[in-house]
Chains A and B, each alone.
Chain A
Amino acid sequence: MNLLDCLIASFQLSFSVDPRIIEITLRSLFVSGSAALIATLWGIPIATIIAMKDFHGKFLIKTIFNSLIGIPTVALGFLLFLAFSRESGPLGFLRLLYTPTAVIIGEAILITPIIVSLATTAIEAVDPEIVNLAKTLGASESQASFAVLKEALEGIFLAGIVSFNRAIGELGIAQFVGGFIYGQTELLTTGIWIELQLGNPGTSIALMVILLTMVFTINLVLNAIQRMRGREWKPLLYSET
């Protein structure tokens, strides 16, 4: 098969309704989406505390989170493999190795520094008087913090998009703790790798096309939502106190 035939075949496969391709795509979305959600749930409170509270070691914590943004996925994947290893790993008893849950946990850890660092920057960029403004209008401490988060929403939204992109595009963690179990842990990135190893470049290209199309489409839609929110939806956010 020459390169052109290979490309045509892979494009046909990309837009076909092959159940396996659909399953891999949906699993990738679920795993990366869950990781982004978990990282957001614990990352935003951490970012809020770092940005809004003064405490000893604040600079050090910020530096650590900033440094961890660039952690190689292979290194983190290997560390998690050792931790989840069923025979000798400290978390082996959880029996999570080679499950989608392990990949979700690994990716959530991977993207937490991104969420924390970007959200901290976004919250710190909000006018510090917003807290006092909310308080003088009657807000409690938590309502005032929430008002700051609303002001930082664009930056937090961006942090979410960047994190999701990092999660869905990473390979190291998925390989080490997810493996390549057919029908169970196969993802778009691991699928691209394994199909190439098995001598199926057409399928690899098809999965790559899906991955790129998906990332592009999701970013396009999220950015469009963000624009609409800026124009029309934002007031809705202020209807809750």
Chain B
Amino acid sequence: MEAIAVLRNVTKTFAKKKVLDNINLQILDGEILALLGPNGSGKTTLLKILASILRPTDGEIHFRGVKVTDQNVEKIRMESTLVFQKTVLFSTTVYDNIAYGLRIRRATKNEIDYKVAQVLKLVRLEGFEKRSAKKLSGGEQQRVALARALALNTRLLLLDEPTANLDPKNARIIEEAIATTNRELKTTIVMATHNMFQAKNLPHRIALMEDGRITEVGTSKEIFGRLSKTLASFAAVENTFAGTAKTSEDGSTLIDVGNGIQIVAAAKNVGEVSVFVNPEDIILSKSHFESSARNMFKGKIVEILDLGSIVRLRVDVGKPFTVQITKRSFNEMGLNLNTEVFLAFKASSIQIV
């Protein structure tokens, strides 16, 4: 495959702090590339540089063979678009939000009408044209932001944590729209994520990022196979733990991830492994309860992140787990910092890499 964008020795410094350090990366035409790394690893900065809304301190970017310069940056910017992690919308209707970029490209009214209807169908928001964008739910707003980017049909689509902070339903719709766009329109997609599960399933290639550097690039199989030790160093990637797996007496896999925490998994593995638990697969309770879940741990809430309709909690059970629950459950359970809670998840929900 031909490279659509090439980054050579790209460095970005903010107030003497190096946020990107000598990045060399090729983005292949038609691929989905995931930038996988913990918060603060430089994913967003890299995406903004690829979107030409941020210029590197050093290094070169070539887009379809043309070097990006101050003179041609506005023209090259037309060939890509970025969907931000935090949803940003204009204070107007859904229609006018989506139409903004099309109007800049001087599309006719008929073309705009057609495109708006088409992309709203793709993100399953048919008939939302006249609704005020900012009055939609968080998930719907993020779907409008994605639709607005998809409407432009750019060669390169950049997504910054597209499903972070979303409930599973909205996340699934967005993942399907991303996959459809790549499959049917051959749009090249670069997606930042710290969700191991998403990185494993959606992209063709993965670039691991840590402290402003790209440490590994490879296919999903390569990264999640051979490079499990590199993955294990990603302590900040949520719910990912390195440990030693052994087969227990009942035939299931027992993984010791340290600090006295043993996770039961259904998949058969032995030796050094990395495990990942999806935050949405974890059930949270204030008291011990009987269930079929093979994993249950007692811990304390150490961090609360209010994301509108959902709340993300960090629970320390000896190892930090991220749990995602609805705002309603959060309120009804009367949870607070340092509240003692129980976490439960099934052995079959463990991803072993």
Contact = CB atoms under 8 A, between A and B. Distances in A.
Contacts of B240: none
Given A137-B152, A138-B152, A143 B88 contact: no
Interface in B165-201: none
Contacts of B297: none
Nearest to B151: A137
B103 A132 contact: no
B93 interface: yes
A124 interface: no
Interface stretch (B75-83, B298-306, B338-346): B75-83
A241 interface: yes
Interface string A59-73: 000000000000000
Contacts, number: 66
A136 B299 CA distance: 43
A241 B100 contact: yes
Binding site of B, secondary structure by majority: helix, strand, loop or mixed?
mixed
A83 B80 CA distance: 56
* A136, A147, A151, A237 interface centre (most CB from chain B within 10 Å): A136
Contacts of A138: 77-78, 81, 101, 104-105, 152
A235 interface: yes
Contacts of B93: 235
Contact of B53 (A136, A151, A234): A136
A195 to B, nearest CB: 47
A135 B74 CA distance: 8
Interface string B309-348: 0000000000000000000000000000000000000000
B92 interface: yes
Contact of B90 (A130, A135, A140): A130
B206 interface: no
Contacts of B96: 235, 238-239
A22 B118 CA distance: 57
Contacts of B51: 136
Interface in A125-149: 127, 129-130, 132-141, 143, 147
B46 to A, nearest CB: 14
Contacts of B53: 132, 135-136
Contacts of B100: 134, 137, 147, 238, 241
B84 A147 contact: no
Contacts of B82: 132, 136
* B74, B93, B100, B152 interface centre (most CB from chain A within 10 Å): B100
A239 to B, nearest CB: 8
Chain B contact-residue range equals: 20 to 34
B88 A137 contact: no
A241 B90 CA distance: 13
A241 B104 contact: yes
B148 interface: yes
Binding site of A, secondary structure by majority: helix, strand, loop or mixed?
helix
Interface in B275-308: none
A86 interface: no
B90 A151 contact: yes
A27 interface: no
B123 interface: no
B268 interface: no
A166 interface: no
Nearest to B103: A241
B69 interface: no
Contacts of B48: 132
Contacts of A136: 51, 53, 77, 80-82, 158
A155 B77 CA distance: 30
A238 B99 contact: yes
B57 interface: no
Interface string A150-192: 1100000000000000000000000000000000000000000
B52 to A, nearest CB: 8
Given A130-B88, A238-B100, A241-B104, A137 B81 contact: yes
* A133, A239, A241 interface centre (most CB from chain B within 10 Å): A133
B144 to A, nearest CB: 12
16 contacts: A130-B88, A130-B90, A132-B53, A132-B82, A133-B84, A135-B52, A135-B53, A136-B53, A137-B148, A138-B78, A140-B74, A147-B90, A238-B90, A238-B99, A239-B103, A241-B104
Interface of A: 127, 129-130, 132-141, 143, 147, 150-151, 234-235, 237-239, 241
